[in-house]
Chain A
Amino acid sequence: MPFSVRLTVNGTDYEHEVEHRQLLTEYLREVLGLTGTHVGCDTSGCGACTVLLDGKAVKSCTVLTAQADGGNVTTIEGLANGNELHPLQEAFNVEHGLQCGFCTPGMIMAGLELLDRNPNPSNEEIRHALEGNLCRCTGYENIVRSIKYAAAKS
Protein backbone atom coordinates (compact mmCIF):
# COMPACT_ATOMS: atom_id res chain seq x y z
CA MET A 1 0.00 0.00 0.00
CA PRO A 2 1.43 3.38 -0.90
CA PHE A 3 2.13 6.06 1.66
CA SER A 4 0.12 9.28 1.68
CA VAL A 5 2.16 12.44 1.99
CA ARG A 6 1.36 16.12 2.16
CA LEU A 7 4.15 18.51 1.39
CA THR A 8 4.52 22.16 0.69
CA VAL A 9 7.05 22.67 -2.06
CA ASN A 10 8.04 26.17 -3.09
CA GLY A 11 4.86 27.48 -1.54
CA THR A 12 2.47 25.04 -3.19
CA ASP A 13 0.69 22.31 -1.22
CA TYR A 14 0.76 18.80 -2.63
CA GLU A 15 -0.81 15.53 -1.66
CA HIS A 16 0.44 12.31 -3.19
CA GLU A 17 0.53 8.59 -2.69
CA VAL A 18 4.14 7.45 -2.92
CA GLU A 19 6.17 4.29 -2.57
CA HIS A 20 7.45 3.86 0.96
CA ARG A 21 11.00 3.61 -0.33
CA GLN A 22 10.80 6.76 -2.43
CA LEU A 23 13.50 9.34 -1.74
CA LEU A 24 12.61 13.01 -1.54
CA THR A 25 14.83 13.64 -4.57
CA GLU A 26 12.77 11.26 -6.63
CA TYR A 27 9.56 12.86 -5.44
CA LEU A 28 10.77 16.29 -6.48
CA ARG A 29 12.17 15.16 -9.81
CA GLU A 30 9.79 12.46 -10.96
CA VAL A 31 6.50 13.32 -9.27
CA LEU A 32 6.67 17.11 -9.30
CA GLY A 33 8.96 17.44 -12.31
CA LEU A 34 11.27 19.77 -10.41
CA THR A 35 14.44 18.56 -12.08
CA GLY A 36 16.61 21.39 -10.79
CA THR A 37 17.46 19.18 -7.84
CA HIS A 38 20.13 16.78 -9.07
CA VAL A 39 21.43 13.39 -8.10
CA GLY A 40 25.19 13.09 -8.27
CA CYS A 41 25.96 10.16 -6.01
CA ASP A 42 24.51 7.39 -3.91
CA THR A 43 26.39 7.90 -0.65
CA SER A 44 25.15 11.35 0.40
CA GLY A 45 28.51 12.82 -0.51
CA CYS A 46 28.12 15.24 -3.40
CA GLY A 47 25.41 17.61 -2.19
CA ALA A 48 23.91 18.17 -5.67
CA CYS A 49 20.51 17.23 -4.25
CA THR A 50 20.56 19.81 -1.44
CA VAL A 51 17.20 21.45 -0.73
CA LEU A 52 15.80 23.26 2.26
CA LEU A 53 13.47 21.18 4.41
CA ASP A 54 11.75 23.32 7.02
CA GLY A 55 14.49 25.87 6.54
CA LYS A 56 17.39 23.46 6.95
CA ALA A 57 19.70 22.38 4.16
CA VAL A 58 19.36 18.65 3.68
CA LYS A 59 20.48 16.13 1.10
CA SER A 60 17.19 15.14 -0.46
CA CYS A 61 18.69 11.84 -1.61
CA THR A 62 18.97 10.85 2.05
CA VAL A 63 15.47 11.71 3.14
CA LEU A 64 12.47 9.52 2.43
CA THR A 65 9.49 11.33 1.03
CA ALA A 66 7.54 9.75 3.85
CA GLN A 67 9.97 11.23 6.39
CA ALA A 68 9.45 14.68 4.91
CA ASP A 69 5.67 14.34 5.14
CA GLY A 70 4.15 17.55 6.42
CA GLY A 71 7.30 19.47 5.69
CA ASN A 72 8.01 22.63 3.83
CA VAL A 73 10.50 22.21 1.00
CA THR A 74 12.31 24.89 -0.96
CA THR A 75 14.13 23.88 -4.12
CA ILE A 76 16.21 25.91 -6.54
CA GLU A 77 13.06 26.50 -8.60
CA GLY A 78 11.51 28.30 -5.64
CA LEU A 79 14.19 30.91 -5.11
CA ALA A 80 13.56 33.52 -7.74
CA ASN A 81 10.69 35.91 -7.35
CA GLY A 82 9.23 35.72 -10.83
CA ASN A 83 11.92 37.09 -13.12
CA GLU A 84 13.79 38.62 -10.23
CA LEU A 85 16.70 36.43 -9.23
CA HIS A 86 17.51 35.76 -5.60
CA PRO A 87 20.73 37.56 -4.60
CA LEU A 88 22.56 34.23 -4.47
CA GLN A 89 21.44 33.32 -7.96
CA GLU A 90 22.55 36.69 -9.20
CA ALA A 91 25.83 36.26 -7.35
CA PHE A 92 26.63 33.00 -9.10
CA ASN A 93 26.17 34.73 -12.44
CA VAL A 94 28.12 37.84 -11.53
CA GLU A 95 31.04 35.98 -9.97
CA HIS A 96 31.02 33.10 -12.50
CA GLY A 97 30.30 30.63 -9.73
CA LEU A 98 29.20 27.90 -12.10
CA GLN A 99 30.43 26.13 -15.18
CA CYS A 100 28.52 22.96 -16.06
CA GLY A 101 25.81 23.92 -13.58
CA PHE A 102 25.16 20.46 -12.23
CA CYS A 103 26.31 21.11 -8.68
CA THR A 104 24.98 24.66 -8.76
CA PRO A 105 21.48 24.20 -7.31
CA GLY A 106 22.95 22.31 -4.37
CA MET A 107 25.67 24.91 -3.91
CA ILE A 108 23.13 27.71 -3.92
CA MET A 109 20.89 25.94 -1.42
CA ALA A 110 23.86 25.21 0.85
CA GLY A 111 24.94 28.83 0.51
CA LEU A 112 21.45 29.96 1.38
CA GLU A 113 21.48 28.13 4.69
CA LEU A 114 24.97 29.38 5.46
CA LEU A 115 23.99 33.00 4.96
CA ASP A 116 20.89 32.43 7.02
CA ARG A 117 23.07 31.30 9.94
CA ASN A 118 26.00 33.54 9.29
CA PRO A 119 25.17 36.59 7.18
CA ASN A 120 28.75 37.72 6.86
CA PRO A 121 30.97 34.67 6.59
CA SER A 122 34.72 34.75 6.06
CA ASN A 123 36.27 32.90 3.11
CA GLU A 124 37.32 30.18 5.47
CA GLU A 125 33.85 29.83 6.91
CA ILE A 126 32.40 29.59 3.43
CA ARG A 127 34.86 26.92 2.38
CA HIS A 128 34.09 24.99 5.53
CA ALA A 129 30.34 25.31 5.02
CA LEU A 130 30.65 23.85 1.53
CA GLU A 131 32.21 20.63 2.81
CA GLY A 132 29.12 18.71 1.78
CA ASN A 133 29.05 19.92 -1.81
CA LEU A 134 31.34 18.74 -4.57
CA CYS A 135 32.13 20.75 -7.67
CA ARG A 136 34.48 19.41 -10.32
CA CYS A 137 34.51 22.48 -12.59
CA THR A 138 35.25 25.66 -10.69
CA GLY A 139 37.93 24.77 -8.18
CA TYR A 140 35.44 26.40 -5.77
CA GLU A 141 37.17 29.77 -6.09
CA ASN A 142 34.30 31.58 -7.73
CA ILE A 143 31.70 29.77 -5.66
CA VAL A 144 33.31 31.26 -2.57
CA ARG A 145 33.31 34.65 -4.26
CA SER A 146 29.66 34.23 -5.22
CA ILE A 147 28.62 33.61 -1.65
CA LYS A 148 30.70 36.58 -0.51
CA TYR A 149 29.00 38.71 -3.13
CA ALA A 150 25.55 37.62 -2.00
CA ALA A 151 26.48 38.26 1.61
CA ALA A 152 27.62 41.77 0.77
CA LYS A 153 24.48 42.38 -1.23
CA SER A 154 21.96 41.31 1.40
Chain B
Amino acid sequence: MIPASFEYLRASTVEEALSLLEKHGDDAKLLAGGHSLLPAMKLRLATPSYLIDIGRIDSLKSIEEVNGTITIGAMVTHRQLESADAITSQVPDLARAAAGIGDPQVRNLGTLGGSVAHADPASDYPAVLLSADATIVIQGRGGQRSIASEDFFIDLFMTELEEGELITAVQIPALPPATGATYLKFPHPASRFAVVGCAARVSLHDGSCADVRVAFNGISGAAFRDAGVESALTGQAPSEAAIEFAAGKAAIGAEPMGDAFASAEYRGHLAKVFARRALREAIDAAGVPT
Protein backbone atom coordinates (compact mmCIF):
# COMPACT_ATOMS: atom_id res chain seq x y z
CA MET B 1 0.00 0.00 0.00
CA ILE B 2 2.93 2.33 0.59
CA PRO B 3 5.24 2.95 -2.36
CA ALA B 4 8.98 2.88 -1.89
CA SER B 5 10.50 6.31 -1.44
CA PHE B 6 10.99 8.51 -4.49
CA GLU B 7 11.35 12.16 -5.31
CA TYR B 8 8.31 13.85 -6.80
CA LEU B 9 9.14 16.36 -9.53
CA ARG B 10 6.58 18.46 -11.27
CA ALA B 11 7.02 19.63 -14.85
CA SER B 12 5.02 22.58 -16.03
CA THR B 13 6.14 22.41 -19.64
CA VAL B 14 7.05 19.65 -22.05
CA GLU B 15 10.57 21.10 -22.18
CA GLU B 16 10.90 20.85 -18.43
CA ALA B 17 9.65 17.26 -18.44
CA LEU B 18 12.15 16.35 -21.13
CA SER B 19 15.05 17.91 -19.31
CA LEU B 20 14.08 16.12 -16.10
CA LEU B 21 13.85 12.87 -18.03
CA GLU B 22 17.27 13.47 -19.47
CA LYS B 23 18.72 14.25 -16.08
CA HIS B 24 17.34 11.22 -14.26
CA GLY B 25 17.31 8.71 -17.06
CA ASP B 26 16.33 5.19 -16.08
CA ASP B 27 15.62 6.15 -12.51
CA ALA B 28 12.70 8.33 -13.53
CA LYS B 29 9.15 7.59 -14.60
CA LEU B 30 6.62 9.97 -16.04
CA LEU B 31 3.49 10.30 -13.95
CA ALA B 32 0.36 11.04 -15.97
CA GLY B 33 -2.96 9.98 -14.43
CA GLY B 34 -1.04 7.45 -12.38
CA HIS B 35 -3.67 4.75 -12.56
CA SER B 36 -1.33 2.06 -13.80
CA LEU B 37 1.88 3.34 -12.26
CA LEU B 38 0.78 4.13 -8.71
CA PRO B 39 -0.90 0.75 -8.08
CA ALA B 40 2.27 -0.95 -9.31
CA MET B 41 4.31 1.23 -6.99
CA LYS B 42 2.06 0.48 -4.03
CA LEU B 43 2.69 -3.21 -4.58
CA ARG B 44 6.37 -2.31 -5.03
CA LEU B 45 6.36 -3.88 -8.45
CA ALA B 46 7.71 -0.55 -9.67
CA THR B 47 10.22 1.44 -7.65
CA PRO B 48 11.33 4.49 -9.60
CA SER B 49 13.54 6.97 -7.77
CA TYR B 50 11.97 9.97 -9.47
CA LEU B 51 8.44 10.64 -10.59
CA ILE B 52 8.02 13.42 -13.10
CA ASP B 53 4.44 14.64 -12.95
CA ILE B 54 3.33 15.81 -16.38
CA GLY B 55 -0.32 16.04 -15.37
CA ARG B 56 -0.20 19.82 -15.10
CA ILE B 57 1.22 20.61 -18.51
CA ASP B 58 -1.58 22.62 -20.03
CA SER B 59 -0.36 22.25 -23.58
CA LEU B 60 -1.09 18.53 -23.37
CA LYS B 61 -4.71 18.90 -22.36
CA SER B 62 -6.51 20.16 -25.44
CA ILE B 63 -8.64 18.57 -28.09
CA GLU B 64 -8.41 20.38 -31.42
CA GLU B 65 -9.80 19.77 -34.85
CA VAL B 66 -7.87 21.18 -37.79
CA ASN B 67 -8.54 20.28 -41.40
CA GLY B 68 -10.27 17.04 -40.59
CA THR B 69 -7.70 15.85 -38.09
CA ILE B 70 -8.44 15.68 -34.40
CA THR B 71 -5.42 16.27 -32.22
CA ILE B 72 -5.86 15.03 -28.70
CA GLY B 73 -3.36 16.09 -26.05
CA ALA B 74 -1.71 13.27 -24.17
CA MET B 75 -3.08 14.43 -20.82
CA VAL B 76 -6.69 14.42 -21.95
CA THR B 77 -8.56 12.10 -19.59
CA HIS B 78 -10.72 9.14 -20.44
CA ARG B 79 -13.62 11.09 -19.03
CA GLN B 80 -13.06 13.94 -21.49
CA LEU B 81 -12.80 11.54 -24.40
CA GLU B 82 -15.98 9.82 -23.33
CA SER B 83 -17.93 13.04 -23.37
CA ALA B 84 -16.26 15.67 -25.58
CA ASP B 85 -18.43 16.54 -28.58
CA ALA B 86 -15.50 16.50 -30.97
CA ILE B 87 -14.77 12.93 -29.96
CA THR B 88 -18.27 11.49 -29.73
CA SER B 89 -19.11 12.90 -33.16
CA GLN B 90 -15.81 12.51 -35.01
CA VAL B 91 -14.17 9.54 -33.29
CA PRO B 92 -17.08 7.67 -31.73
CA ASP B 93 -15.11 4.45 -31.41
CA LEU B 94 -12.58 6.23 -29.24
CA ALA B 95 -15.35 7.66 -27.08
CA ARG B 96 -16.78 4.19 -26.76
CA ALA B 97 -13.44 2.75 -25.71
CA ALA B 98 -12.88 5.54 -23.20
CA ALA B 99 -16.29 5.01 -21.63
CA GLY B 100 -15.48 1.39 -20.89
CA ILE B 101 -12.15 1.91 -19.17
CA GLY B 102 -11.96 0.93 -15.50
CA ASP B 103 -14.63 2.84 -13.65
CA PRO B 104 -15.76 6.47 -13.31
CA GLN B 105 -13.06 7.37 -10.79
CA VAL B 106 -10.33 5.87 -12.96
CA ARG B 107 -11.69 7.64 -16.02
CA ASN B 108 -11.59 10.95 -14.18
CA LEU B 109 -7.83 10.82 -13.81
CA GLY B 110 -6.49 8.29 -16.29
CA THR B 111 -5.17 9.81 -19.51
CA LEU B 112 -4.93 8.86 -23.15
CA GLY B 113 -1.19 9.43 -23.26
CA GLY B 114 -0.56 7.50 -20.08
CA SER B 115 -2.53 4.53 -21.29
CA VAL B 116 -0.95 4.54 -24.74
CA ALA B 117 2.58 4.83 -23.35
CA HIS B 118 1.96 2.04 -20.84
CA ALA B 119 0.75 -0.24 -23.65
CA ASP B 120 -0.99 -2.78 -21.51
CA PRO B 121 -2.05 -5.45 -23.99
CA ALA B 122 -5.50 -5.51 -22.41
CA SER B 123 -5.97 -1.74 -22.54
CA ASP B 124 -8.71 -0.42 -24.79
CA TYR B 125 -7.23 2.34 -26.90
CA PRO B 126 -4.75 0.54 -29.13
CA ALA B 127 -7.30 -1.28 -31.28
CA VAL B 128 -9.20 1.95 -31.87
CA LEU B 129 -6.04 3.86 -32.69
CA LEU B 130 -5.09 1.23 -35.23
CA SER B 131 -8.46 1.03 -36.89
CA ALA B 132 -8.79 4.82 -36.87
CA ASP B 133 -5.37 5.22 -38.44
CA ALA B 134 -4.12 7.37 -35.61
CA THR B 135 -0.70 8.89 -35.34
CA ILE B 136 1.25 9.14 -32.12
CA VAL B 137 3.08 12.42 -31.72
CA ILE B 138 6.25 12.11 -29.71
CA GLN B 139 8.55 14.78 -28.38
CA GLY B 140 12.16 14.19 -27.46
CA ARG B 141 15.13 16.45 -26.77
CA GLY B 142 15.96 16.17 -30.42
CA GLY B 143 12.55 17.32 -31.58
CA GLN B 144 9.20 15.98 -32.51
CA ARG B 145 8.34 12.89 -34.50
CA SER B 146 5.17 11.13 -35.48
CA ILE B 147 4.64 7.39 -35.62
CA ALA B 148 1.71 5.60 -37.14
CA SER B 149 -0.13 3.77 -34.39
CA GLU B 150 0.34 0.57 -36.33
CA ASP B 151 4.08 0.88 -35.87
CA PHE B 152 3.92 2.19 -32.33
CA PHE B 153 2.78 -0.83 -30.34
CA ILE B 154 5.43 -3.54 -30.37
CA ASP B 155 4.60 -6.02 -27.67
CA LEU B 156 3.22 -6.13 -24.17
CA PHE B 157 4.27 -2.95 -22.40
CA MET B 158 6.66 -2.23 -25.29
CA THR B 159 6.34 0.65 -27.71
CA GLU B 160 8.42 2.70 -30.10
CA LEU B 161 8.75 5.36 -27.42
CA GLU B 162 12.45 5.89 -26.78
CA GLU B 163 14.11 6.75 -23.53
CA GLY B 164 13.88 10.45 -22.91
CA GLU B 165 10.74 10.90 -25.02
CA LEU B 166 7.17 11.55 -24.16
CA ILE B 167 3.92 11.37 -26.03
CA THR B 168 2.45 14.80 -26.56
CA ALA B 169 -0.60 14.00 -28.62
CA VAL B 170 -2.54 11.52 -30.66
CA GLN B 171 -3.85 12.59 -34.05
CA ILE B 172 -6.86 10.91 -35.58
CA PRO B 173 -8.57 11.65 -38.87
CA ALA B 174 -12.19 12.60 -38.44
CA LEU B 175 -14.65 9.91 -39.34
CA PRO B 176 -15.15 9.88 -43.11
CA PRO B 177 -18.69 10.16 -44.43
CA ALA B 178 -20.86 7.05 -44.62
CA THR B 179 -18.53 5.37 -42.19
CA GLY B 180 -19.46 3.59 -38.99
CA ALA B 181 -17.04 3.05 -36.17
CA THR B 182 -17.27 1.18 -32.93
CA TYR B 183 -15.32 -0.54 -30.24
CA LEU B 184 -16.66 -3.55 -28.35
CA LYS B 185 -14.96 -5.47 -25.63
CA PHE B 186 -15.37 -8.51 -23.50
CA PRO B 187 -14.27 -7.23 -20.12
CA HIS B 188 -12.47 -9.26 -17.49
CA PRO B 189 -14.98 -9.56 -14.65
CA ALA B 190 -12.51 -8.31 -12.04
CA SER B 191 -10.18 -5.85 -13.72
CA ARG B 192 -12.58 -4.77 -16.45
CA PHE B 193 -9.65 -4.76 -18.83
CA ALA B 194 -10.32 -6.17 -22.28
CA VAL B 195 -10.08 -9.93 -22.55
CA VAL B 196 -10.75 -9.19 -26.19
CA GLY B 197 -11.45 -5.77 -27.63
CA CYS B 198 -12.38 -5.19 -31.22
CA ALA B 199 -12.47 -1.89 -33.06
CA ALA B 200 -14.18 -1.80 -36.40
CA ARG B 201 -14.64 0.88 -39.04
CA VAL B 202 -16.59 0.30 -42.18
CA SER B 203 -17.55 2.70 -44.96
CA LEU B 204 -20.48 1.94 -47.17
CA HIS B 205 -20.03 2.82 -50.82
CA ASP B 206 -22.73 1.99 -53.29
CA GLY B 207 -24.18 -0.62 -51.02
CA SER B 208 -21.00 -2.47 -50.31
CA CYS B 209 -18.36 -2.35 -47.65
CA ALA B 210 -15.32 -0.27 -48.40
CA ASP B 211 -12.34 0.71 -46.35
CA VAL B 212 -12.94 -1.97 -43.75
CA ARG B 213 -10.63 -1.57 -40.79
CA VAL B 214 -10.66 -4.05 -37.94
CA ALA B 215 -8.20 -4.20 -35.07
CA PHE B 216 -7.94 -6.11 -31.85
CA ASN B 217 -6.43 -5.70 -28.44
CA GLY B 218 -6.37 -8.10 -25.55
CA ILE B 219 -5.54 -11.06 -27.74
CA SER B 220 -1.79 -10.95 -28.04
CA GLY B 221 1.11 -8.85 -26.79
CA ALA B 222 0.29 -5.92 -29.00
CA ALA B 223 -2.83 -4.69 -30.73
CA PHE B 224 -3.02 -5.60 -34.42
CA ARG B 225 -4.98 -4.85 -37.55
CA ASP B 226 -6.64 -7.92 -38.94
CA ALA B 227 -6.11 -8.02 -42.69
CA GLY B 228 -7.90 -11.35 -42.97
CA VAL B 229 -11.17 -9.94 -41.77
CA GLU B 230 -10.76 -6.68 -43.62
CA SER B 231 -10.11 -8.18 -47.01
CA ALA B 232 -12.85 -10.76 -46.61
CA LEU B 233 -15.44 -8.06 -46.18
CA THR B 234 -14.12 -5.37 -48.47
CA GLY B 235 -16.26 -5.05 -51.55
CA GLN B 236 -18.97 -7.26 -50.13
CA ALA B 237 -22.55 -6.28 -49.53
CA PRO B 238 -23.05 -5.99 -45.77
CA SER B 239 -25.11 -9.16 -45.39
CA GLU B 240 -25.16 -11.31 -42.27
CA ALA B 241 -23.46 -14.03 -44.24
CA ALA B 242 -20.68 -11.75 -45.41
CA ILE B 243 -20.11 -10.44 -41.90
CA GLU B 244 -20.11 -13.94 -40.50
CA PHE B 245 -17.66 -15.09 -43.13
CA ALA B 246 -15.32 -12.17 -42.55
CA ALA B 247 -15.51 -12.49 -38.79
CA GLY B 248 -14.57 -16.12 -39.14
CA LYS B 249 -11.18 -14.99 -40.38
CA ALA B 250 -10.49 -13.09 -37.19
CA ALA B 251 -7.23 -13.64 -35.37
CA ILE B 252 -6.09 -16.33 -37.74
CA GLY B 253 -2.38 -16.43 -37.39
CA ALA B 254 -2.45 -14.44 -34.17
CA GLU B 255 -0.94 -16.21 -31.22
CA PRO B 256 -3.47 -15.47 -28.51
CA MET B 257 -2.39 -15.17 -24.90
CA GLY B 258 -3.93 -17.52 -22.35
CA ASP B 259 -4.53 -16.89 -18.69
CA ALA B 260 -6.61 -18.21 -15.83
CA PHE B 261 -9.73 -16.48 -17.05
CA ALA B 262 -9.47 -17.02 -20.78
CA SER B 263 -7.37 -19.57 -22.64
CA ALA B 264 -5.69 -18.85 -25.93
CA GLU B 265 -8.30 -20.90 -27.73
CA TYR B 266 -11.16 -19.06 -26.11
CA ARG B 267 -9.60 -15.68 -26.87
CA GLY B 268 -9.29 -16.75 -30.49
CA HIS B 269 -12.95 -17.67 -30.47
CA LEU B 270 -13.98 -14.41 -28.84
CA ALA B 271 -12.11 -12.54 -31.55
CA LYS B 272 -14.48 -13.99 -34.12
CA VAL B 273 -17.55 -13.26 -31.99
CA PHE B 274 -16.51 -9.69 -31.35
CA ALA B 275 -15.43 -9.12 -34.93
CA ARG B 276 -18.90 -10.11 -36.02
CA ARG B 277 -20.64 -7.93 -33.46
CA ALA B 278 -18.38 -4.95 -34.06
CA LEU B 279 -18.73 -5.19 -37.83
CA ARG B 280 -22.48 -5.40 -37.52
CA GLU B 281 -22.55 -2.35 -35.32
CA ALA B 282 -20.15 -0.39 -37.50
CA ILE B 283 -22.14 -1.19 -40.62
CA ASP B 284 -25.37 -0.20 -38.93
CA ALA B 285 -23.80 3.07 -37.84
CA ALA B 286 -22.40 3.69 -41.31
CA GLY B 287 -25.89 3.73 -42.66
CA VAL B 288 -27.00 6.27 -40.11
CA PRO B 289 -25.91 9.85 -40.75
CA THR B 290 -24.22 11.28 -37.63
Q: Which residues of A contact B (CB under 8 A)?
A: 3, 19-21, 23, 26, 39, 42-45, 47, 50, 56-59, 61-64, 66-67, 110, 113-114, 129, 131-133
Query: Which B residues have a C-beta under 8 Å from some C-beta of A?
Result: 1-8, 10, 31, 34-35, 38-39, 42-43, 51, 53, 55, 79, 102-106, 108-109, 190-192
Known A-B contacts A42-B39, A47-B103, A66-B53; A20 and B108 likewise in contact (beta carbons under 8 Å): no
Checking A44, A113, A114, A132 against B39 with a beta-carbon cut-off of 8 angstroms, the contacting residue is A44
Q: Is the CB of B8 within 8 A of A64?
A: yes
Determine the chain B residues whose CB is within 8 A of the CB of A43 once the complex forms: 39, 42-43
B252 CB, min distance to chain A CBs, angstroms: 33
* Complex A-B: 28 CB contacts under 8 Å: A19-B5, A20-B6, A20-B7, A21-B6, A21-B8, A23-B2, A23-B38, A23-B42, A43-B39, A44-B35, A44-B39, A44-B105, A45-B191, A50-B105, A56-B109, A57-B105, A57-B108, A58-B109, A59-B105, A61-B1, A63-B34, A64-B34, A64-B51, A67-B8, A67-B31, A67-B34, A110-B105, A132-B105
Contacts of B43 in A (CB 8 A): 42-43
Q: Among the listed B2, B4, B109, which residue makes an inter-chain contact with A63, where contact means beta carbons less than 8 Å apart?
A: B109
Task: Name the CB-closest residue of A to B33.
Answer: A62
Q: Which 6 A-B pairs have the closest CB atoms?
A: A132-B103, A20-B8, A131-B103, A56-B108, A66-B8, A42-B1
**Bound state CA distance, A56 and B104, in angstroms?**
9
Hey, which chain A residues are within 8 Å of B2, CB to CB? 21, 23, 26
Q: Which residue of A lies closest to B102 (CB)?
A: A132
